[in-house]
């Protein structure tokens, strides 16, 4: 039965086109995600496999624990490059050459800009240039003191004392020194993961939207509901089909995407803490890059399941495919309109909306805390639990509503 | 085997589409005749558990069909008036899918599908997509679909609509074949579809069954009330105003009228034997379309 439900979706011209479109968009995203460059010793920009190979080799030279000694070396190396005659020259080409020397330390240099900032929310690209070797010892201490200063002043009313203590504790608890490695594969993968996941969501939203309503559109409802299983097993098989489509389409595109990026850019650095990269420096979840990847793809899956189940519920209740197709759009795009309201309360709500699951990368960096039964907890675990529960709850609601439908 | 309707009523906002109908059916063909909007489809939908009655009930061997639920639907075959299908399915896939939701085991489903495809003459087209079939072919798949589970109750809503005369005769014969050992309820507004194969004919008007019985029982009371009369074109108008006229035919001298009347309408009128069309006209008050009478 479920096999035929899948056929109903994929034999349609629209269904086939949607899959081809998805494949095309995954391809385009892979292209942009892997389109990194490297500047060679002559100041020329290089793209493609050469760039990956060279950049990887240069950054790998600096792989290892970011101890005081290593930070000091980075500060020295950075100053040497910055004060070279090539860097100070008025000629762009000369500047490019100077830039090329710095590619090995560029990621660590970025961390310095954050760590030695005068302010928690500040990022000054030139901050690293004004450091001296004696500063090296403060690298990790700064991370904590900037947070503390921020919590005491700017964010003083945003968090409760308990929440502040929790954040400080998370910052203290992280194991230092961080292990650093080349991890362009992962950072690029994370940067484009919301794109891939949202594209998959919109496409599979389109695919599942008709599962229930099309019986009415096609007028096949009379035969369907007058059959033995029309008000029980056949409805279950529709829900199963929706689950299968979501699972296949989501994992299909995520595996294709991750596989391509990691094969092309390399999977090095999976055991580094997320804080060893600029994208996760402030993150208060103490996890590794690999764990972050698992959270990103599991969250994406959870989000897609929830949204497609909601879309199926609308499809079953309203008999309208159009309304059902709109569900993912509304859930994905409405929050971005509300995001500008800048109210603590609204932001808290926003951090719990299902679109957050589709962009775990951002959700992990979001300072949104909740106190539940005396325990402080971040938004990410709440999102995973709440939407898993809601998805499980929607199934029976769809079943109940659809199996009692009257034909008009 | 007994399907019993008691005081069955379905109201939509302001109209009573089915109005306190009580009737009992057993095996054999039942022909449901009625003009557009008489309530045929509504009645059939209730019999298929697709809509709930506003009041009254339907029982199968004494048990309410809505309580029997799946158990009742297992016995049911339904060809809707608005027969919808999955446009991209092949005929074969379509039938196999319907077989699966009708709870047939795959082996049985294959056997029955193959046999029914032959029976309705669609064996050659089984690989064709549903959306590429002609109207008549779709109807044939429709009836095959209804027969898949070898139903004890077969409900066909205007199965002959849109068929050419040849097809219609084929269909009539097919239904005659299928009708053994089961209850067939067939709706139509084409009298000839049911005149010869129905065990009982039900005339429906404005949600009510106004008369029902075998062909003989329906014809008997109208014996001697049907006349044939040749008149000039001018006189024809007057007769059409004063009498129920079942048929008008142009003849060399003027027109020939078929008139329903208790008294002889004119000295020249010749008595005719009663046809079901006349009964239909008498009760439902509408003339038949010429092509329908010709079959
Ligand atoms: N879903 C509905 N909502 C409101 N009114 C309806 C609905 N379905 C049918 N009706 C009304 O009920 C009456 C009977 O309709 P029904 O379709 O049962 O007639 P029918 O005998 O099948 O006619 P036809 O020969 O045209 O198929 C009509 O007046 C129709 O307008
Ligand atoms: Mg009808």
Q: What is the CATH number of the domain that holds B190?
A: 3.40.50.300
B35 plus B134 within the same structural domain: yes
Count CB atoms within 10 A of the CB of residue B228: 16
The pLDDT value recorded for residue B291 is: 37
**CA-based nearest residue to B85, from B151, B137, B152:** B137
Evaluate whether A272 touches A179 at the Cβ level (below 8 Å): yes
The pLDDT value recorded for residue B286 is: 55
DSSP helix/strand/coil, A193: helix
What average pLDDT score do residues A58-83 get?
94
CA-nearest residue, atom 6 of ligand 1:
B12
How many Cβ pairs closer than 8 A exist between chain A and B? 89
Q: Average pLDDT of chain A?
A: 94
> What are the pLDDT digits (tens) for B139-158?
999 999 999 999 999 999 99
In a domain, B226, yes or no: yes
Q: Which helix (H) or strand (E) holds A355?
A: helix A355-358
Contact A12 B88 (CB under 8 A): yes
Which of A8, A219, A227 faces B101 most closely, judged by CB atoms?
A227
| Structural Rg of chain B based on CA atoms | 21
Whole-angstrom distance, CA of residue A81 vs CA of residue A241: 59
B152 plus B224 within the same structural domain: no
Which of A11, A220, A228 faces B102 most closely, judged by CB atoms?
A228
Whole-angstrom distance, CA of residue B176 vs CA of residue B198: 9
Q: What are the beta bridge partners of residue B260?
A: B226, B244
Quote the domain boundaries for residue A49: 37-180
Quote the domain boundaries for residue B105: 3-219
Whole-angstrom distance, CA of residue B163 vs CA of residue A155: 78
Tokens standing for B275? 């046809």
pTM: 0.92
Whole-angstrom distance, CA of residue B63 vs CA of residue B68: 7
| Structural Rg of chain A based on CA atoms | 25
The pLDDT value recorded for residue A392 is: 97
The pLDDT value recorded for residue B285 is: 74
Residue B292 banded pLDDT, cuts 50, 70, 90: very low
Tokens standing for A156? 């003083």
The pLDDT value recorded for residue B243 is: 87
Instruction: Indicate whether A41 pLDDT > 80.
Output: yes
Residues of A in contact with B92 (CB under 8 A): none
Residues of B in contact with A226 (CB under 8 A): 48-50, 73, 76, 78
Q: Give ∠ CA B218-B222-B227 in degrees, rounded to 5.
A: 135
Q: What is the predicted ipTM? A: 0.91
Tokens standing for B60? 């199968």
The pLDDT value recorded for residue A87 is: 87
Q: Average pLDDT of chain B?
A: 90
In a domain, A352, yes or no: yes
What average pLDDT score do residues B59-65 get?
96
Residue B163 banded pLDDT, cuts 50, 70, 90: confident
> What are the pLDDT digits (tens) for A167-205?
999 999 999 899 999 999 999 999 999 999 999 999 999
Boundary of a domain, candidates B219, B246, B267:
B219
The pLDDT value recorded for residue B239 is: 87
In a domain, A408, yes or no: no
CA of B83 to the centre of ligand 2 (A): 11
Tokens standing for B55? 């009041």
Domain tally for chain A? 2
Boundary of a domain, candidates A180, A205, A225:
A180
Q: Tell how many helices (H) and how many strands (E) occur in chain A.
A: 18, 6
What average pLDDT score do residues A314-328 get?
95
Whole-angstrom distance, CA of residue B100 vs CA of residue A7: 14
Q: Is the CB of B140 under 6 A from ligand 1?
A: no
What average pLDDT score do residues B187-204 get?
88
Q: What are the beta bridge partners of residue B32?
A: B187, B202
The pLDDT value recorded for residue A401 is: 95
Q: What are the beta bridge partners of residue B256?
A: B230, B249
Residue A339 banded pLDDT, cuts 50, 70, 90: confident
Whole-angstrom distance, CA of residue B184 vs CA of residue B277: 22
Dihedral sign (CA B178, B183, B189, B195): positive
What average pLDDT score do residues B49-67 get?
96
Q: How far apart are the first and last CA of chain B?
A: 34
Q: How far apart are the first and last CA of chain A?
A: 25
Residues with CB under 5 A from ligand 2 (ion): B 40-41, 81
Q: Is the CB of B288 under 6 A from ligand 1?
A: no
A228 plus A264 within the same structural domain: yes
**CA-based nearest residue to A332, from A367, A305, A351, A307:** A307
């Amino acid at each position: 039965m479920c096999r035929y439900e899948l056929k109903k979706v994929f034999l349609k011209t629209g269904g086939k086109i949607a899959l081809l479109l998805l494949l095309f968009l995954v391809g385009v995203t892979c292209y942009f995600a892997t389109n990194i460059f490297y500047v060679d010793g002559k100041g020329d920009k290089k793209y493609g496999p050469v760039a990956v190979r060279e950049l990887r080799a240069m950054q790998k030279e600096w792989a290892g624990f970011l101890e005081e000694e290593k930070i000091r070396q980075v500060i020295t190396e950075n100053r040497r490059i910055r004060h070279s005659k090539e860097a100070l020259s008025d000629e762009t080409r000369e500047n490019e050459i100077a830039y090329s020397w710095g590619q090995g330390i560029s990621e660590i240099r970025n961390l310095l800009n954050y760590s030695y900032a005068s302010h928690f929310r500040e990022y000054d690209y030139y901050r690293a240039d004004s450091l001296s070797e004696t500063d090296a010892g403060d690298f990790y201490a700064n991370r904590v003191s900037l947070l503390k200063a921020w919590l005491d002043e700017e964010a003083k009313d945003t968090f409760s004392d308990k929440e502040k203590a929790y954040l400080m504790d998370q910052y203290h608890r992280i194991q230092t020194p961080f292990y650093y490695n080349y991890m362009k594969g992962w950072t690029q993968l994370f940067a484009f993961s919301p794109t891939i996941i949202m594209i998959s969501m919109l496409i599979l939203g389109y695919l599942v939207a008709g599962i229930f309503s099309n019986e009415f559109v096609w007028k096949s409802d009379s035969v369907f509901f007058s059959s033995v299983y029309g008000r029980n097993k056949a409805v279950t098989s529709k829900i199963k089909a929706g689950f299968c489509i979501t699972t296949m389409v989501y994992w299909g595109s995520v595996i294709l995407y991750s596989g391509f990026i990691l094969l092309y850019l390399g999977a090095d650095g999976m055991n580094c803490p997320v804080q060893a990269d600029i994208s996760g420096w402030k993150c208060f979840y103490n996890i590794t890059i690999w764990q972050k990847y698992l959270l990103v793809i599991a969250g994406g899956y959870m989000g897609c399941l929830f949204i497609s189940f909601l879309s199926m519920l609308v499809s079953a209740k309203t008999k309208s495919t159009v309304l059902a197709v709109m569900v993912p759009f509304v859930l994905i795009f409405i929050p971005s309109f509300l995001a500008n309201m800048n109210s603590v309360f609204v932001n808290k709500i926003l951090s719990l909306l299902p679109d957050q699951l589709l962009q775990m990368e951002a959700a992990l960096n979001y300072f949104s805390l909740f106190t539940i039964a005396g325990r402080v907890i971040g938004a990410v675990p709440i999102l995973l639990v709440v939407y898993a529960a809601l998805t499980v709850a929607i199934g029976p609601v769809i079943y109940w509503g659809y199996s009692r439908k009257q034909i008009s | 085997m007994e399907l019993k309707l008691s005081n069955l009523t379905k109201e939509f906002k302001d109209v009573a589409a089915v109005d306190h109908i009580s009737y009992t059916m057993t095996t054999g063909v039942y022909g449901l005749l009625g003009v557009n909007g008489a309530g045929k489809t509504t009645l059939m939908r209730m019999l298929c558990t697709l809509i709930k009655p506003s009041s009254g009930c339907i029982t199968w061997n004494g048990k309410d069909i809505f309580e029997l639920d799946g158990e009742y639907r297992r016995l049911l075959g339904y060809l809707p008036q608005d027969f919808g299908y999955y446009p991209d399915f092949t005929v074969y896939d379509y039938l196999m899918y319907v077989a699966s939701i009708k709870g047939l085991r795959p082996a049985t489903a294959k056997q029955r599908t193959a046999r029914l495809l032959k029976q309705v003459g669609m064996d050659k087209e089984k690989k064709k997509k549903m959306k590429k079939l002609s109207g008549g072919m779709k109807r044939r798949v429709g009836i095959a679909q209804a027969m898949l589970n070898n139903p004890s109750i077969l409900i066909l809503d205007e199965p002959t609509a849109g068929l050419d005369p040849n097809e219609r005769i084929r269909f009539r014969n097919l239904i005659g074949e299928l009708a053994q050992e089961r209850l067939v309820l067939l709706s139509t507004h084409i009298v000839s579809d049911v005149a010869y194969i129905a065990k009982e004919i039900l005339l429906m008007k404005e949600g009510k069954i106004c008369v029902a019985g075998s062909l003989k029982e329906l014809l008997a009371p109208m014996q001697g009330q049907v006349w044939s009369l040749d008149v000039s074109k001018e006189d024809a108008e007057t007769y059409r105003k004063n009498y129920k006229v079942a048929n008008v035919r142009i003849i060399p001298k003027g027109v020939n009228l078929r008139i329903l009347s208790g008294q002889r309408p004119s000295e020249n009128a010749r008595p005719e034997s009663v046809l079901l069309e006349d009964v239909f006209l008498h009760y439902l008050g509408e003339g038949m379309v010429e092509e329908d009478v010709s079959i």
